[in-house]
Chain A
Amino acid sequence: DAGVTQSPTHLIKTRGQQVTLRCSPKSGHDTVSWYQQALGQGPQFIFQYYEEEERQRGNFPDRFSGHQFPNYSSELNVNALLLGDSALYLCASSLSGLGQETQYFGPGTRLLVL
């Protein structure tokens, strides 16, 4: 049973550039959530996708956008990168519906903005 996968594992960008991170959910899951984890902190919720629509969004600027594909995989896009965007980006998948509240995380993508 394949778990949540993310690519790439590491990424280095410069300020002002754009980046795309990818996530494939756990087999059978239809919902993908993205989190940003700064060094030494707990993850912060960015947004969640279900049925190819953004269902919920945290307190992140519009520079952060996403997409979900028909196969439930997802992308996180960040435009006009800032130094403060350097963080570990985690993708989590879950199954919609009652009793399916647990989110399963991928290994993350470490983004460094120079």
Chain B
Amino acid sequence: AQTVTQSQPEMSVQEAETVTLSCTYDTSESDYYLFWYKQPPSRQMILVIRQEAYKQQNATENRFSVNFQKAAKSFSLKISDSQLGDAAMYFCAYRSSYGGSQGNLIFGKGTKLSVKP
């Protein structure tokens, strides 16, 4: 079974600085998808960025980028120019590409990010 591990329960960053959140996963599959979701105190889970395992190029969305290391099974999120609105819980998630597992997102336990003004 696949697992997702986020080893940093809490992180803190100064406004305008850069922070990196870590995520590792375990799978025997070669094709899958990885996601970072943000959950602010309002509870709504918001998609930040996604990565297809077959793509070697790291995904980027404005200030958010990932470092995807397939061999190491690592998927870290870098937030540049941090803003107060970035403060939230961040969840790393895995989704298989195969058969009946397509619907199943597997989440890590999350990292709580605080942004200091």
Interface residues of A (CB under 8 A from B): 31, 33, 35, 40-45, 48, 50, 55-56, 58, 88, 90, 92, 94, 101-108, 110
Chain A min CB distance to B71 (Å): 22
Which of B4, B42, B50, B104 is A102 in contact with, Cβ under 8 Å?
B50
Contact A31 B103 (CB under 8 A): yes
Q: State which of B44, B101, B102, B104 has its C-beta within 8 Å of the C-beta of A105.
A: B44
Say whether chain A's binding surface is mostly helix, strand, loop, or mixed: strand
Which residues of chain B come closer than 8 Å to A101, judged between CB atoms? 33, 50, 95, 97, 102
Give every chain B residue within 8 A of A92 (Cβ-Cβ): 45, 105
**Contact between B45 and A42, CB atoms less than 8 A apart:** no
Binds A, one of B12-20, B60-68, B79-87, B107-115: B107-115
Q: List 26 A-B contacts (CB under 8 A).
A: A33-B104, A35-B105, A41-B109, A41-B110, A42-B107, A42-B109, A43-B91, A43-B105, A43-B107, A44-B107, A45-B103, A45-B105, A56-B104, A58-B104, A88-B43, A101-B33, A101-B95, A101-B97, A102-B35, A102-B47, A105-B44, A105-B45, A106-B44, A108-B43, A108-B44, A108-B45
Task: Kindly provide the distance from the CB of A50 to the nearest chain B CB, expressed in whole angstroms.
Answer: 8
